[in-house]
Amino acid sequence: MLSSKGYLSAKGTVNQIELGKDLLEYYSEELLVYLNCELKIGDNNCWLRLITSKHRSIFHPLKHILLLLFLNKSIDDIDEIKGEKYLPFGNGKYPCLNPAAEHYKQLCIDDVTLGRERNRGGKPRGLFECLLCGFSYSRIGPDNSEEDKYRYNKVINFGSVWFDKLKKLNEDGFTNKEIAKKLNVGVHTVWRYLNGFERKEIPKVSNKKVQNLKQRWLQLIEQNPTYSQNQIRNLDKGLYSSLYAIDSEWLKNNSPKSTVYSKGNKRVDWSKRDKDYLVQIKYAIEKIENLSPPQRVTLNRIENIANLSRLNKNLDKLPETNDYLSDKLESIEAFQLRRIKWAMDEIERSGEEITYSKVVMKANVYKASSNILDEIKKALGLDS
Protein backbone atom coordinates (compact mmCIF):
# COMPACT_ATOMS: atom_id res chain seq x y z
CA MET A 1 0.00 0.00 0.00
CA LEU A 2 2.80 2.37 0.96
CA SER A 3 4.82 1.10 -1.98
CA SER A 4 2.28 2.08 -4.59
CA LYS A 5 2.49 5.65 -3.28
CA GLY A 6 6.28 5.58 -3.44
CA TYR A 7 6.95 5.64 0.29
CA LEU A 8 8.64 2.29 0.37
CA SER A 9 12.24 1.72 -0.59
CA ALA A 10 13.26 -1.31 -2.59
CA LYS A 11 14.48 -2.91 0.62
CA GLY A 12 11.07 -2.46 2.14
CA THR A 13 11.68 0.35 4.62
CA VAL A 14 9.30 3.28 4.88
CA ASN A 15 10.46 6.78 4.02
CA GLN A 16 9.15 8.30 7.24
CA ILE A 17 10.09 11.90 6.61
CA GLU A 18 8.37 12.08 3.20
CA LEU A 19 5.30 10.27 4.47
CA GLY A 20 5.07 12.53 7.54
CA LYS A 21 5.46 15.72 5.54
CA ASP A 22 2.79 14.71 3.06
CA LEU A 23 0.37 13.62 5.77
CA LEU A 24 0.86 16.92 7.54
CA GLU A 25 0.23 18.81 4.36
CA TYR A 26 -2.87 16.74 3.62
CA TYR A 27 -4.57 17.18 7.01
CA SER A 28 -2.88 20.35 8.36
CA GLU A 29 -1.18 20.51 11.70
CA GLU A 30 -4.16 22.12 13.38
CA LEU A 31 -6.48 19.27 12.51
CA LEU A 32 -4.03 16.61 13.65
CA VAL A 33 -3.47 18.38 16.97
CA TYR A 34 -7.20 18.81 17.38
CA LEU A 35 -7.69 15.06 16.86
CA ASN A 36 -4.91 14.35 19.32
CA CYS A 37 -2.92 12.73 16.53
CA GLU A 38 -0.13 15.27 16.14
CA LEU A 39 2.98 14.18 14.26
CA LYS A 40 6.52 14.39 15.57
CA ILE A 41 8.38 13.90 12.33
CA GLY A 42 11.78 12.33 12.86
CA ASP A 43 10.88 11.15 16.36
CA ASN A 44 11.19 7.38 16.85
CA ASN A 45 8.07 7.37 19.02
CA CYS A 46 5.89 9.24 16.58
CA TRP A 47 2.69 7.24 16.03
CA LEU A 48 3.06 7.39 12.26
CA ARG A 49 6.47 5.73 12.45
CA LEU A 50 5.21 3.07 14.84
CA ILE A 51 2.05 2.31 12.90
CA THR A 52 3.96 1.87 9.63
CA SER A 53 6.69 -0.32 11.11
CA LYS A 54 6.42 -3.92 12.19
CA HIS A 55 4.46 -3.42 15.37
CA ARG A 56 2.53 -5.20 18.05
CA SER A 57 0.97 -2.16 19.64
CA ILE A 58 -2.66 -1.24 19.29
CA PHE A 59 -3.46 2.17 17.86
CA HIS A 60 -6.53 4.31 18.13
CA PRO A 61 -8.75 3.48 15.14
CA LEU A 62 -8.72 7.13 14.21
CA LYS A 63 -5.01 6.89 13.44
CA HIS A 64 -5.58 3.93 11.12
CA ILE A 65 -8.39 5.81 9.41
CA LEU A 66 -6.30 8.94 8.94
CA LEU A 67 -3.57 6.92 7.30
CA LEU A 68 -5.96 4.93 5.12
CA LEU A 69 -7.85 8.00 3.95
CA PHE A 70 -4.60 9.63 3.10
CA LEU A 71 -3.45 6.60 1.17
CA ASN A 72 -6.79 6.58 -0.60
CA LYS A 73 -7.54 3.04 0.34
CA SER A 74 -10.46 1.47 2.08
CA ILE A 75 -10.20 -0.78 5.09
CA ASP A 76 -11.24 -3.70 2.90
CA ASP A 77 -7.95 -3.42 1.08
CA ILE A 78 -5.93 -4.27 4.14
CA ASP A 79 -6.44 -8.02 4.15
CA GLU A 80 -5.50 -8.17 0.53
CA ILE A 81 -2.24 -6.42 1.16
CA LYS A 82 -1.29 -7.81 4.55
CA GLY A 83 1.59 -10.27 4.46
CA GLU A 84 2.35 -9.67 0.84
CA LYS A 85 6.02 -9.40 0.04
CA TYR A 86 7.05 -6.28 -1.79
CA LEU A 87 8.05 -7.34 -5.31
CA PRO A 88 8.50 -4.23 -7.45
CA PHE A 89 9.29 -6.38 -10.50
CA GLY A 90 6.87 -9.19 -9.80
CA ASN A 91 7.94 -12.79 -9.60
CA GLY A 92 10.60 -14.16 -11.99
CA LYS A 93 11.43 -15.33 -14.50
CA TYR A 94 12.54 -12.35 -16.53
CA PRO A 95 13.44 -12.04 -20.22
CA CYS A 96 16.93 -11.65 -21.63
CA LEU A 97 16.81 -8.44 -23.67
CA ASN A 98 19.90 -9.05 -25.75
CA PRO A 99 18.88 -8.77 -29.43
CA ALA A 100 22.09 -10.57 -30.42
CA ALA A 101 21.14 -13.71 -28.51
CA GLU A 102 19.10 -16.56 -29.87
CA HIS A 103 17.09 -16.55 -26.68
CA TYR A 104 16.14 -12.87 -27.11
CA LYS A 105 13.01 -12.08 -25.04
CA GLN A 106 12.91 -15.58 -23.64
CA LEU A 107 12.43 -15.88 -19.91
CA CYS A 108 15.84 -17.12 -18.92
CA ILE A 109 16.72 -14.86 -15.99
CA ASP A 110 15.68 -16.41 -12.69
CA ASP A 111 16.00 -13.57 -10.26
CA VAL A 112 16.50 -9.84 -9.91
CA THR A 113 18.91 -7.95 -7.67
CA LEU A 114 17.04 -5.09 -6.01
CA GLY A 115 18.48 -1.68 -5.38
CA ARG A 116 17.15 1.81 -4.96
CA GLU A 117 17.44 4.99 -7.02
CA ARG A 118 19.03 7.89 -5.17
CA ASN A 119 17.56 10.64 -7.28
CA ARG A 120 14.10 9.57 -8.32
CA GLY A 121 12.38 9.58 -4.98
CA GLY A 122 13.94 6.29 -3.96
CA LYS A 123 12.26 4.22 -6.64
CA PRO A 124 13.24 0.56 -6.80
CA ARG A 125 15.86 -0.44 -9.33
CA GLY A 126 16.32 -3.97 -10.58
CA LEU A 127 19.45 -5.52 -12.01
CA PHE A 128 18.76 -8.39 -14.41
CA GLU A 129 21.67 -10.58 -15.46
CA CYS A 130 21.48 -13.25 -18.15
CA LEU A 131 23.82 -16.14 -17.45
CA LEU A 132 23.51 -17.54 -20.94
CA CYS A 133 25.04 -14.60 -22.74
CA GLY A 134 26.38 -12.21 -20.10
CA PHE A 135 23.96 -9.44 -21.06
CA SER A 136 22.65 -7.46 -18.10
CA TYR A 137 20.34 -4.49 -17.79
CA SER A 138 18.73 -2.36 -15.14
CA ARG A 139 15.22 -0.99 -14.89
CA ILE A 140 13.63 1.58 -12.62
CA GLY A 141 10.43 0.25 -11.17
CA PRO A 142 7.97 -0.63 -10.02
CA ASP A 143 6.57 -2.49 -13.00
CA ASN A 144 2.98 -1.62 -13.77
CA SER A 145 2.25 -4.07 -16.53
CA GLU A 146 3.53 -7.24 -18.14
CA GLU A 147 5.03 -5.18 -20.98
CA ASP A 148 7.26 -3.40 -18.48
CA LYS A 149 9.22 -6.63 -18.23
CA TYR A 150 10.54 -6.01 -21.73
CA ARG A 151 11.75 -2.50 -21.03
CA TYR A 152 15.10 -1.44 -19.62
CA ASN A 153 16.61 1.86 -18.58
CA LYS A 154 20.21 0.94 -19.07
CA VAL A 155 22.38 -1.85 -20.38
CA ILE A 156 24.90 -2.61 -17.66
CA ASN A 157 26.91 -5.12 -19.64
CA PHE A 158 26.52 -6.30 -23.21
CA GLY A 159 28.26 -9.61 -22.74
CA SER A 160 30.27 -11.81 -25.03
CA VAL A 161 27.45 -12.95 -27.33
CA TRP A 162 26.63 -9.36 -28.10
CA PHE A 163 30.31 -8.55 -28.78
CA ASP A 164 30.68 -11.52 -31.10
CA LYS A 165 27.59 -10.51 -33.03
CA LEU A 166 28.85 -6.96 -33.28
CA LYS A 167 32.17 -8.16 -34.72
CA LYS A 168 30.43 -10.53 -37.11
CA LEU A 169 28.05 -7.89 -38.46
CA ASN A 170 30.98 -5.55 -38.92
CA GLU A 171 32.97 -8.19 -40.80
CA ASP A 172 29.95 -8.95 -42.94
CA GLY A 173 30.07 -5.36 -44.14
CA PHE A 174 27.07 -3.81 -42.44
CA THR A 175 27.34 -0.09 -41.74
CA ASN A 176 27.47 1.13 -38.16
CA LYS A 177 23.99 2.48 -38.56
CA GLU A 178 22.63 -0.86 -39.72
CA ILE A 179 24.43 -2.65 -36.91
CA ALA A 180 23.05 -0.19 -34.37
CA LYS A 181 19.54 -0.92 -35.58
CA LYS A 182 20.02 -4.67 -35.42
CA LEU A 183 21.51 -4.53 -31.93
CA ASN A 184 19.07 -1.95 -30.66
CA VAL A 185 21.67 0.59 -29.53
CA GLY A 186 22.84 4.04 -30.59
CA VAL A 187 25.36 4.34 -33.45
CA HIS A 188 27.84 5.88 -31.04
CA THR A 189 27.77 2.71 -28.97
CA VAL A 190 28.58 0.59 -32.02
CA TRP A 191 31.38 2.93 -32.89
CA ARG A 192 32.79 2.96 -29.38
CA TYR A 193 32.88 -0.80 -29.17
CA LEU A 194 34.20 -1.35 -32.69
CA ASN A 195 37.03 1.05 -32.03
CA GLY A 196 38.07 -0.75 -28.92
CA PHE A 197 37.25 2.01 -26.47
CA GLU A 198 35.19 -0.35 -24.38
CA ARG A 199 37.34 -3.42 -24.83
CA LYS A 200 38.82 -3.39 -21.39
CA GLU A 201 35.51 -3.12 -19.63
CA ILE A 202 35.27 -5.97 -17.18
CA PRO A 203 31.79 -7.45 -17.06
CA LYS A 204 30.17 -6.47 -13.81
CA VAL A 205 28.60 -9.80 -13.11
CA SER A 206 27.84 -10.51 -9.48
CA ASN A 207 29.74 -13.13 -7.59
CA LYS A 208 26.89 -15.57 -7.34
CA LYS A 209 26.36 -15.46 -11.09
CA VAL A 210 30.05 -15.98 -11.73
CA GLN A 211 29.99 -19.02 -9.47
CA ASN A 212 27.07 -20.37 -11.47
CA LEU A 213 28.93 -19.93 -14.74
CA LYS A 214 31.98 -21.66 -13.35
CA GLN A 215 29.83 -24.47 -12.08
CA ARG A 216 28.34 -24.96 -15.55
CA TRP A 217 31.79 -25.06 -17.10
CA LEU A 218 33.01 -27.69 -14.62
CA GLN A 219 29.90 -29.69 -15.30
CA LEU A 220 30.57 -29.73 -19.05
CA ILE A 221 34.08 -30.96 -18.41
CA GLU A 222 32.85 -33.65 -16.12
CA GLN A 223 30.22 -34.84 -18.53
CA ASN A 224 32.81 -35.03 -21.28
CA PRO A 225 35.96 -36.30 -19.61
CA THR A 226 37.77 -37.06 -22.86
CA TYR A 227 37.19 -33.69 -24.51
CA SER A 228 39.87 -31.09 -25.05
CA GLN A 229 39.35 -27.48 -24.06
CA ASN A 230 38.37 -26.61 -27.62
CA GLN A 231 35.78 -29.35 -27.79
CA ILE A 232 34.30 -28.27 -24.46
CA ARG A 233 34.27 -24.70 -25.66
CA ASN A 234 32.34 -25.70 -28.78
CA LEU A 235 29.63 -27.20 -26.61
CA ASP A 236 28.78 -23.77 -25.25
CA LYS A 237 30.61 -20.90 -26.88
CA GLY A 238 28.67 -18.25 -24.98
CA LEU A 239 29.64 -19.76 -21.67
CA TYR A 240 33.27 -19.91 -22.71
CA SER A 241 33.34 -16.28 -23.82
CA SER A 242 31.60 -15.10 -20.66
CA LEU A 243 34.10 -16.89 -18.48
CA TYR A 244 36.96 -15.75 -20.64
CA ALA A 245 35.83 -12.17 -20.18
CA ILE A 246 35.16 -12.48 -16.48
CA ASP A 247 38.01 -14.63 -15.23
CA SER A 248 40.35 -15.94 -17.90
CA GLU A 249 42.87 -17.01 -15.29
CA TRP A 250 40.35 -19.31 -13.66
CA LEU A 251 39.29 -20.64 -17.04
CA LYS A 252 42.90 -21.47 -17.86
CA ASN A 253 43.34 -23.32 -14.59
CA ASN A 254 40.09 -25.19 -14.91
CA SER A 255 40.23 -26.49 -18.44
CA PRO A 256 41.46 -29.85 -19.66
CA LYS A 257 45.20 -29.62 -20.19
CA SER A 258 46.32 -30.43 -23.70
CA THR A 259 49.73 -31.80 -22.85
CA VAL A 260 51.22 -32.62 -19.51
CA TYR A 261 54.91 -32.00 -19.13
CA SER A 262 56.84 -33.79 -16.49
CA LYS A 263 59.06 -31.47 -14.50
CA GLY A 264 61.94 -33.80 -13.87
CA ASN A 265 62.55 -35.77 -10.73
CA LYS A 266 62.29 -33.29 -7.94
CA ARG A 267 62.00 -35.08 -4.64
CA VAL A 268 58.50 -34.84 -3.25
CA ASP A 269 57.58 -35.14 0.41
CA TRP A 270 54.56 -37.35 -0.17
CA SER A 271 53.62 -37.63 3.46
CA LYS A 272 53.39 -33.88 3.79
CA ARG A 273 51.57 -33.65 0.49
CA ASP A 274 49.11 -36.27 1.66
CA LYS A 275 48.20 -34.14 4.68
CA ASP A 276 47.92 -30.97 2.60
CA TYR A 277 45.77 -32.63 -0.02
CA LEU A 278 43.51 -34.10 2.60
CA VAL A 279 42.69 -30.66 3.98
CA GLN A 280 42.08 -29.34 0.48
CA ILE A 281 39.84 -32.12 -0.68
CA LYS A 282 37.83 -32.12 2.57
CA TYR A 283 37.09 -28.49 1.95
CA ALA A 284 36.24 -29.12 -1.71
CA ILE A 285 33.92 -32.02 -0.88
CA GLU A 286 32.12 -29.99 1.73
CA LYS A 287 31.64 -27.28 -0.86
CA ILE A 288 30.22 -29.75 -3.39
CA GLU A 289 27.92 -31.36 -0.87
CA ASN A 290 26.41 -27.99 -0.06
CA LEU A 291 25.54 -27.11 -3.64
CA SER A 292 21.91 -26.69 -4.52
CA PRO A 293 20.82 -28.27 -6.82
CA PRO A 294 23.14 -31.06 -5.76
CA GLN A 295 26.16 -31.98 -7.85
CA ARG A 296 27.74 -35.38 -7.82
CA VAL A 297 30.90 -35.75 -5.74
CA THR A 298 33.42 -36.89 -8.34
CA LEU A 299 37.16 -36.85 -8.50
CA ASN A 300 37.12 -34.45 -11.39
CA ARG A 301 34.95 -31.95 -9.56
CA ILE A 302 37.04 -32.20 -6.40
CA GLU A 303 40.21 -31.66 -8.40
CA ASN A 304 38.74 -28.61 -10.02
CA ILE A 305 37.49 -27.01 -6.84
CA ALA A 306 40.64 -27.82 -4.88
CA ASN A 307 42.71 -26.75 -7.87
CA LEU A 308 44.62 -30.03 -7.93
CA SER A 309 45.37 -31.91 -11.08
CA ARG A 310 46.17 -35.52 -11.78
CA LEU A 311 45.25 -36.51 -8.26
CA ASN A 312 44.27 -40.01 -9.35
CA LYS A 313 47.71 -40.66 -10.83
CA ASN A 314 49.32 -40.34 -7.43
CA LEU A 315 46.72 -41.75 -5.11
CA ASP A 316 48.87 -44.77 -4.29
CA LYS A 317 51.35 -42.40 -2.64
CA LEU A 318 48.62 -40.55 -0.74
CA PRO A 319 47.07 -43.09 1.65
CA GLU A 320 45.04 -40.73 3.85
CA THR A 321 43.70 -38.78 0.89
CA ASN A 322 42.91 -42.01 -0.89
CA ASP A 323 40.97 -43.45 2.06
CA TYR A 324 38.97 -40.33 2.51
CA LEU A 325 38.20 -40.12 -1.19
CA SER A 326 37.04 -43.70 -1.56
CA ASP A 327 34.69 -43.04 1.29
CA LYS A 328 33.28 -39.85 -0.20
CA LEU A 329 33.16 -40.34 -3.97
CA GLU A 330 29.59 -40.88 -5.04
CA SER A 331 28.30 -43.60 -7.31
CA ILE A 332 25.62 -42.53 -9.74
CA GLU A 333 23.02 -44.30 -7.66
CA ALA A 334 24.14 -42.65 -4.43
CA PHE A 335 24.01 -39.31 -6.16
CA GLN A 336 20.54 -39.96 -7.55
CA LEU A 337 19.29 -40.81 -4.08
CA ARG A 338 20.78 -37.64 -2.65
CA ARG A 339 19.12 -35.69 -5.46
CA ILE A 340 15.79 -37.32 -4.73
CA LYS A 341 16.05 -36.34 -1.09
CA TRP A 342 16.89 -32.80 -2.12
CA ALA A 343 13.94 -32.69 -4.54
CA MET A 344 11.53 -33.78 -1.84
CA ASP A 345 12.86 -31.13 0.54
CA GLU A 346 12.49 -28.47 -2.13
CA ILE A 347 8.94 -29.44 -3.04
CA GLU A 348 7.98 -29.57 0.61
CA ARG A 349 9.51 -26.18 1.24
CA SER A 350 7.49 -24.68 -1.61
CA GLY A 351 4.35 -25.87 0.16
CA GLU A 352 3.30 -28.12 -2.71
CA GLU A 353 2.17 -31.68 -2.41
CA ILE A 354 4.99 -34.17 -2.94
CA THR A 355 4.03 -36.50 -5.77
CA TYR A 356 5.97 -39.19 -7.58
CA SER A 357 6.09 -37.35 -10.90
CA LYS A 358 7.14 -34.07 -9.29
CA VAL A 359 10.02 -35.76 -7.51
CA VAL A 360 11.19 -37.52 -10.67
CA MET A 361 11.08 -34.27 -12.58
CA LYS A 362 12.74 -32.11 -9.92
CA ALA A 363 15.44 -34.69 -9.20
CA ASN A 364 15.90 -35.27 -12.92
CA VAL A 365 16.03 -39.05 -12.56
CA TYR A 366 13.92 -40.04 -15.57
CA LYS A 367 16.59 -42.41 -16.72
CA ALA A 368 17.33 -43.92 -13.34
CA SER A 369 17.15 -47.64 -12.75
CA SER A 370 13.94 -49.17 -11.46
CA ASN A 371 15.63 -49.70 -8.10
CA ILE A 372 16.09 -45.97 -7.70
CA LEU A 373 12.58 -45.18 -8.87
CA ASP A 374 11.27 -47.75 -6.41
CA GLU A 375 13.03 -45.82 -3.67
CA ILE A 376 10.86 -42.81 -4.44
CA LYS A 377 7.75 -44.93 -4.25
CA LYS A 378 8.95 -46.27 -0.94
CA ALA A 379 9.59 -42.80 0.37
CA LEU A 380 6.09 -41.74 -0.63
CA GLY A 381 4.44 -44.90 0.67
CA LEU A 382 3.34 -45.88 -2.85
CA ASP A 383 4.90 -49.33 -2.77
CA SER A 384 2.54 -52.16 -2.16
Site for Zn ion, rule CB under 5 A: 96, 98, 101, 130, 132-133, 135
CB of 260 to Zn ion, least distance (A): 36
> From the centroid of its chain, how far is CA 260?
36
Shortest Cβ distance from residue 361 to Zn ion (Å)? 25
User: With left for phi above 0 and alpha for psi between -120 and 50, is residue 42 left, alpha or beta?
Assistant: left
Q: Which of 191, 208, 197 is nearest to 136 (CA)?
A: 208
The strand order across the sheet containing 112-116 reads 112-116, 124-129, 136-140, 154-157
Q: Taking the complex as a whole, how short is the minimal distance between the CB of residue 108 and Zn ion, in angstroms?
A: 6
Asked if 311 and 324 touch (Cβ cutoff 8 Å), the reply is no
List C-alpha distances in Å: 286 to 208, 213, 254, 281, 289: 18, 20, 19, 8, 5
- Least distance between Zn ion and beta carbon 209 (Å): 12
* Spacing of C-alpha 269 from chain mean position: 43
Nearer residue to Zn ion within complex by CB, 133 or 363? 133
In sequence order, which residues have a C-beta less than 8 Å from that of residue 232 and are 6 or more positions away? 217, 220, 221, 224, 240, 255, 256
Closest separation in Å from C-beta 384 to Zn ion: 47
Closer CB to Zn ion, residue 99 or residue 256? 99
**E strand or H helix at 112, and its extent?**
strand 112-116
State the minimum distance, in angstroms, from the CB of residue 168 to Zn ion.
17
Amino acid at 108: C
Question: How far apart are CB 240 and Zn ion at their closest, in Å?
Answer: 15
Q: CB-wise, 133 or 190, nearer to Zn ion?
A: 133
CB of 91 to Zn ion, least distance (A): 19
Contacts for 10 with CB less than 8 Å, ≥ 6 apart: 88, 114, 115, 116, 122, 123, 124, 125, 141
Closest distance to Zn ion from the beta carbon of 101 (Å): 4
Q: Which is nearer to Zn ion, 130 or 284 (CB)?
A: 130
Q: Which is nearer to Zn ion, 158 or 277 (CB)?
A: 158
Q: What share of the chain is helix, strand, coil (3-state, %, to 5)?
A: 50, 5, 40
Helix or strand or coil: residue 207? helix
CA distance 64 to 45: 16
Nearer to Zn ion, 65 or 107 (CB): 107
Nearer to Zn ion, 106 or 231 (CB): 106
Is the CB of 97 or the CB of 373 nearer to Zn ion? 97
Closest alpha carbon to 319 in 271, 372, 359: 271
Cβ proximity to Zn ion, 132 vs 368, nearer residue: 132
Helices 237-253, 207-223: axis angle to 10 degrees equals 90
- Looking at the Cβ atoms of 129 and 143, the one nearer to Zn ion is 129
Q: How far is the CB of 81 from Zn ion (least distance, A)?
A: 34
